[in-house]
Structure 1
Amino acid sequence: MRLLEKAPAKINLSLDVLHKRPDGYHEVEMVMTTIDLADRIELSERKDGQIRIISHSRYVPDDNRNLAYQAAALLKERYKVQKGVSIAITKMIPVAAGLAGGSSDAAATLRGLNKLWKLDLSLDELARIGAEIGSDVSFCVYGGTALATGRGEIIKHIPAPPHCWVVLAKPTIGVSTAEIYNNLHLDKVSHPDVKGMVEAIHENDYDKMISLVGNVLESVTLKLYPEVSHIKDQMKRFGADAVLMSGSGPTVFGIVEYDSRMHRMYNGLRGFCDQVFAVRILGERNALD
């Protein structure tokens, strides 16, 4: 038996870090939404009880470093599943890009194996399991648009943002999330208005939304990686209504309302950046079939 599941990327419209917690994680407030850029996960039952990762991307680990592998192993152990699974991952989301590609792959694996192995778990139960794998996995289980707090695993759903295009560009560098957090000085940064962003989305107010985008981690990444700052400048020059780095970077996204400006941005960025995507915000949460 085979089963296909989409694993959409996410962007953060607002990302704030409040303080470091006693457990070593950081307390965050984020408004996140899924976008129409997705990996494809194909799950196939195995009779030998093994978990196998199959991918043609050299950047995707095929062992227990892979979050999709960890998701399958956790479900298999917790619910005493005897069968195994082959997990074929077709990557469309850039790796190590601040777009939660690995977390979304894990979330898609949880949703898919819930059906394949007939576990009959709810999305809430899958999200709690996802939180054990990584901070973004809970949100990715649900998809849609949400305010995420705690270390990112406490999810409060909000409506889809106003209709718009998102143009993403990833420079040919990798960014270590740990490095960015280690260099973050919360007493020296400007904090975004997360509450205002939530209100803007509830009011379906595009102008208010684009005026409030913010990511406290930019204060670190832009200094350490000038390539990210350069892409931000180019997006502004090509006419983006708002420009922001996603997660800890290095991917930058520009928001535009109209098709004509989207095409101008996309074509302009393709001139000096290999990985450029023009997508819609998905905005609506997943449902179990």
Structure 2
Amino acid sequence: MLYVKAPAKINLTLDVLYKRPDHYHEVEMIMTTVDLADRIGLEPRKDGLIKIISADRFVPDDERNFAYQAAKLLKDTYGIDEGVSITIEKEIPIAAGLAGGSSDAAATLRGLNELWELNLSVDELAEHGAKIGSDVPFCVYGGTALATGRGEKIQKLPAPPTCWVVLAKPKIGVSTADVYGGLKLEGIEHPNTKQMIQAIKTNSYEQLCQSLGNVLETVTFNLHPEVIMIKEQMHRFGADAVLMSGSGPTVFGLVDNEARVGRIYNGLRGFCEEVYVVRMLGDRNPLA
């Protein structure tokens, strides 16, 4: 059995520029990985089948699963006869705006590249990942990056300033399609992507906190008012800066003072079951 880590991501910025002729949105977003991760186990099968195994009943075990799609894509593209059992040990909440499914697919691509001795470069794996989902190429590389296009064009950035990240996910799932569908591009306040890149390059925690922004927040807040309540409570408990990740509903707070982390965590646990304290990983995956 080969094991591969599949880390979650958070969006430090998420901007939508316009709707493209192919019906995707042109995005500009800065993402970074955090040390909350699923574990993917890959075991060869002689019968040629792809099997998904997970104790989590919300993980699909068929072609809806991104890890399944990743295995099938490599198998079909390179004429692989053997199959694989993919065990997914979930730690990342599902439908949370943390790219859990995309990261599982990316880990499957990286792992099968090794298991099936395909000798593909990380850039080739990212190209395959783009056929599965917009966040998969970023997850193949990991670390910190500016993602443009529909999310598949990746430009590497240095690791952001180190800090604690408190994640809180309310007991709801959010449909990314519904959120993008509800986005009105006229009159939205765009995050300052250039300022965020500068904050990362100059290692300025203060500027990083001032530069957080996500144009999807207002849409998700209107659909799910409990998300804005979590954001407000995180501020109240002492986070330096707070933002919703992706299309939500997970909200994260940045904290550079360890003493405050426990207070925020305990305060949120009073009304939110899924709360995590993590660090930003910042660096790319091995081989990336």
Shorter-chain TM-score bucket reads over 0.9
Q: Report if the CA contact (8 A) 1:52-1:85 is conserved.
A: yes
Partner residue of 1:110?
109
Aligned residue for 2:277, secondary structure, equals strand
Letter in 2 for 1:115: E
Partner residue of 1:275?
274
Partner residue of 2:64?
65
- The two structures have a TM-score, normalised by structure 1, of 0.99
Aligned residue for 2:4, secondary structure, equals strand
Partners of 2:83 and 2:217 lie apart in 1 by 42
Question: Deviation of residue 88 (structure 1)?
Answer: 0.2
Partner residue of 2:230?
231
% of aligned pairs identical?
Answer: 68
- The two structures have a TM-score, normalised by structure 2, of 0.99
Partner residue of 2:160?
161
Question: Deviation of residue 188 (structure 1)?
Answer: 2.5
Q: Report if the CA contact (8 A) 1:238-1:268 is conserved.
A: yes
Aligned residue for 1:65, secondary structure, equals coil
Aligned residue for 1:111, secondary structure, equals helix
Partner residue of 1:222?
221
Partner residue of 1:22?
21
Partners of 2:52 and 2:127 lie apart in 1 by 23
Residues 73-92 of structure 1 aligned to structure 2 (within 5 Å) = 73-92=72-91
Q: Report if the CA contact (8 A) 1:217-1:248 is conserved.
A: yes
Partners of 1:60 and 1:188 lie apart in 2 by 38
Partner residue of 2:92?
93
Partner residue of 1:51?
50
Q: Deviations over 1:215-253 (max 9, x none)?
A: 000021111111000000100000000000000000000
Aligned residue for 2:94, secondary structure, equals coil
Is 1:142 the counterpart of 2:141? The answer is yes
Q: Report if the CA contact (8 A) 1:189-1:219 is conserved.
A: no
Q: Deviations over 1:131-174 (max 9, x none)?
A: 00000000000000000000000000000000100000000011
Residue range with higher mean Cα deviation, 263-272 or 208-217: 263-272
Unmatched runs of 5 consecutive residues or more in structure 1: none
Letter in 2 for 1:19: Y
Partner residue of 1:250?
249
Letter in 2 for 1:117: W
Is 1:38 the counterpart of 2:37? The answer is yes
Letter in 1 for 2:269: R
Letter in 1 for 2:161: P
Partner residue of 1:181?
180
Unmatched runs of 5 consecutive residues or more in structure 2: none
Partners of 1:288 and 1:29 lie apart in 2 by 25
Q: Report if the CA contact (8 A) 1:175-1:249 is conserved.
A: yes
Question: Deviation of residue 189 (structure 1)?
Answer: 1.1
Letter in 2 for 1:277: Y
Aligned residue for 1:138, secondary structure, equals helix
Letter in 2 for 1:258: N
Letter in 1 for 2:77: R
Partners of 2:122 and 2:286 lie apart in 1 by 8
Partner residue of 2:6?
7
Question: Deviation of residue 278 (structure 1)?
Answer: 0.2
Question: Deviation of residue 268 (structure 1)?
Answer: 0.9
Letter in 2 for 1:225: H
Aligned residue for 1:187, secondary structure, equals coil
Aligned residue for 2:14, secondary structure, equals strand
Letter in 2 for 1:190: E
Aligned residue for 2:186, secondary structure, equals helix
Aligned residue for 1:188, secondary structure, equals coil
Letter in 1 for 2:123: D
Letter in 2 for 1:95: I
Partners of 1:125 and 1:266 lie apart in 2 by 40
Is 1:207 the counterpart of 2:183? The answer is no
**Consecutive aligned runs of 4 or more in structure 1 exceeding 2 Å deviation:** none
Partners of 1:188 and 1:99 lie apart in 2 by 27
Partners of 2:147 and 2:201 lie apart in 1 by 16
Q: Deviations over 1:174-193 (max 9, x none)?
A: 11111111110011211100
Question: Deviation of residue 267 (structure 1)?
Answer: 1.1
